[in-house]
């Protein structure tokens, strides 16, 4: 395997097969597909978290897979871009992104760690380009201070977020409160539009039958760690809508929440002349973010145990696997219960995941938007509180899944000796 330096090149072997380019950590990975002139042929050439595939390029989590033989006609270059998963955090405050490149059968081809960024918000990390009849990889490490929008503009993609009056108004308000700006998100906007159209057709702010707003979001490819929404009727303009939201402490707190970094807004007229509005705010899901939230659940649970004079629980990978699989199942299979549709119980799931604990207990919850909220909710419920404060439990696994009818589905799986 070759360690590349900025400007270094690697000739890719003809038998390399599809390339896997991975950048682990708290980053968003994306690629831009261009021709010899360095410009995209359209918005479809930008592969990122809300548009995770194009001919010959697929993004899954922290890895982009390239099949050079399947790229669109005229494509001769693929530029790999990395940016912070949380736009409020500059690259200089994160670990240095490290790119690894593997070929067929998992063969390691190259790795590249650029110099540590400082003020940059985005890095052009590497490019795969056609040379003669083959392909080469070049390490770049070029920084941008204008975010993904700046890079997209430079590569020929029309970016209109600066013309969005609502985002401009929101970010001015957030700047006054010291919160970082939010970024408009096409998937959130599409989900908001669908939800808003339903409210206007019914003439009601109440929940619609069928698909919920939260399911609409994940159906459009957007995964989140937390979500908030404003459902309003009456305001005539974006400015009026924002003024309405800022008039109540709870809804104003959402507008100013530094943890929420993406937003989508829609409005729709009702037959009677009223106007219905939907704003959706999220903190996007990342692997590191999920780890941080589940670790916070464990920490808050242990704080409750210490306050009761009990020993803290230790994290358990087998219980974590079982807890996550149960949260996933409740969302994907549309149920909310300790018993799965085929009758499996918490101890069955723990045993199948490899846990050897003799005593097993489980807490589940749905709808809560944060670790603090869900642990407090469990502590306010006698049965759930009893699990948290059971002296014989020694280990814990935590699962969290977005996209259910009630947004977030949580699972705590306890283990002990009995």
DSSP 328-392: HHHHHHT--SSS-TT---HHHHHHHTT---SEEEEEEEES--SHHHHHHHHHTSHHHHHHHT-TT
Q: Kindly report the average pLDDT of the chain as a whole number.
A: 90
**For residue 90, is it left (φ>0), alpha (ψ between -120 and 50) or beta?**
beta
User: Which residue has tokens 């002139």?
Assistant: 37
Highest mean pLDDT among 24-28, 273-277, 284-288, 305-309: 305-309
**Given pLDDT bands bounded at 50, 70 and 90, which one contains residue 314?**
very high
pTM metric for this prediction: 0.64
What six digits make up the tokens of 56? Answer: 């010959």
Place of tokens 């009056």: 165
Most confident option among 94-98, 145-149, 325-329: 325-329
Least confident range from 34-48, 192-206, 250-264, 392-406: namely 34-48
Which is higher by pLDDT, 148 or 353?
353
Phi, psi (5° rounding) for residue 301?
-65, -45
Distance CA 55, CA 322 (A): 36
Instruction: Report residue 307: phi and psi, to 5°.
Output: -65, -25
Residues in CB range of 174: below 8 A, 6 or more apart: 180, 181, 182, 255, 256, 258
Query: Between the CA of residue 352 and those of 319, 321, 346, 406, what are the distances in Å?
Result: 10, 10, 10, 28
Question: What percent of the chain clears pLDDT 90, i.e. is strictly above it?
Answer: 67
pLDDT tops 70 at residue 15: no
Using only C-alpha atoms, what is the Rg of the chain? 24
């Amino acid at each position: 395997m070759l360690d590349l330096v900025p400007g270094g090149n690697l000739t890719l072997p003809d038998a390399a097969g599809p390339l896997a380019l991975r950048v682990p950590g708290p980053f968003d990975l994306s690629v831009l597909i261009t021709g010899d002139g360095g410009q995209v042929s359209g918005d479809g050439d930008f592969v990122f978290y809300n548009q995770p595939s194009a001919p010959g390029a697929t993004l899954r989590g922290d890895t982009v897979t390239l099949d050079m033989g399947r790229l669109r006609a005229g494509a001769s270059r693929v530029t790999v871009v990395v940016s912070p998963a949380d736009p409020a955090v500059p690259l200089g405050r994160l670990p240095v992104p490290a790119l690894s490149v593997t070929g067929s059968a998992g063969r390691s081809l190259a790795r590249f760690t650029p110099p540590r960024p400082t003020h940059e918000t985005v890095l052009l990390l590497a490019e795969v380009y056609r040379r003669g009849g083959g392909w080469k990889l070049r390490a770049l490490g070029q920084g941008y201070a204008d975010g993904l929008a700046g890079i997209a503009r430079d590569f020929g993609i029309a970016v209109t977020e600066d013309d969005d009056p609502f985002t401009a108004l929101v970010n001015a308000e957030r700047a006054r409160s010291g919160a970082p700006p939010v970024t408009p998100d096409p998937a959130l906007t599409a989900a908001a539009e669908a939800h808003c159209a339903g409210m206007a057709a019914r003439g009601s702010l109440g929940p619609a039958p069928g698909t919920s707003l939260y399911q609409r979001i994940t159906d459009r490819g957007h995964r989140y760690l937390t979500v908030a929404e404003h459902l309003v009727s009456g305001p005539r303009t974006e400015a009026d809508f924002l003024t309405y939201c800022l008039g109540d402490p709870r809804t104003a707190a959402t507008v100013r929440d530094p943890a929420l970094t993406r937003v989508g807004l829609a409005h729709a007229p009702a037959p009677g002349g009223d106007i219905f509005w939907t704003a959706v705010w999220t903190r996007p899901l990342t692997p590191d973010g999920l780890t941080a939230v589940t670790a916070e659940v464990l920490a808050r649970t242990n704080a409750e145990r210490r306050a009761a004079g009990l020993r803290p629980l230790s994290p358990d990978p087998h219980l974590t696997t079982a807890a996550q699989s149960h949260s996933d199942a409740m969302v994907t299979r549309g149920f909310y219960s300790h018993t799965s549709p085929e009758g499996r119980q918490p101890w069955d799931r723990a045993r199948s995941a490899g846990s050897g604990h003799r005593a097993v207990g489980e807490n589940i919850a749905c709808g809560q938007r944060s670790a603090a909220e869900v642990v407090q909710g469990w502590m306010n419920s006698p049965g759930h509180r009893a699990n948290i404060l059971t002296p014989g439990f020694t280990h814990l696994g935590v699962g969290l899944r977005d996209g259910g009818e009630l947004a977030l589905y949580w699972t705590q799986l306890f283990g002990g000796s009995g």
